[in-house]
Amino acid sequence: MHLLWWIIVGLIAGWATGKIMRGRGYGPLMDIVIGIVGAIVGGWVMRALGGTGQGGTIYTILVAIGGAVVLTWLVRLITGDRGGTREGGIRRAA
């Protein structure tokens, strides 16, 4: 049951991160992966800031979204990708 919970939270967090970061989508599977890794990153950041790590469903999803946004921002910073869709080297507006 915990695995299903992680998948649901990951999917929601990954989808929301794609909307927040205004980039190209990665698809449902990668949204789940980004959301789950984001939840781990978000949990680590919250504990570092003194968070208790206890909360309900909304708290868990918000922490996962926050972590996924930070993770996506760091990846884009390192790779130089700004999140636009590229076709033939030309960026198109979303």
The predicted structure's pLDDT at residue 89: 45
Nearest in space to 13 (alpha carbons), one of 49, 1, 85, 5: 5
Structure confidence at residue 85 (pLDDT): 52
pTM assigned to the model: 0.75
Encoded tokens for 17? 């991160």
Instruction: Supply 38's token pair.
Output: 């984001």
The pLDDT score that the predictor gives to residue 21 is 83
* pLDDT under 50: residue ranges of the chain: 86-90
pLDDT tens digits, 28-41:
888 888 888 988 88
Helix (H, G, I), strand (E, B) or coil at 25: coil
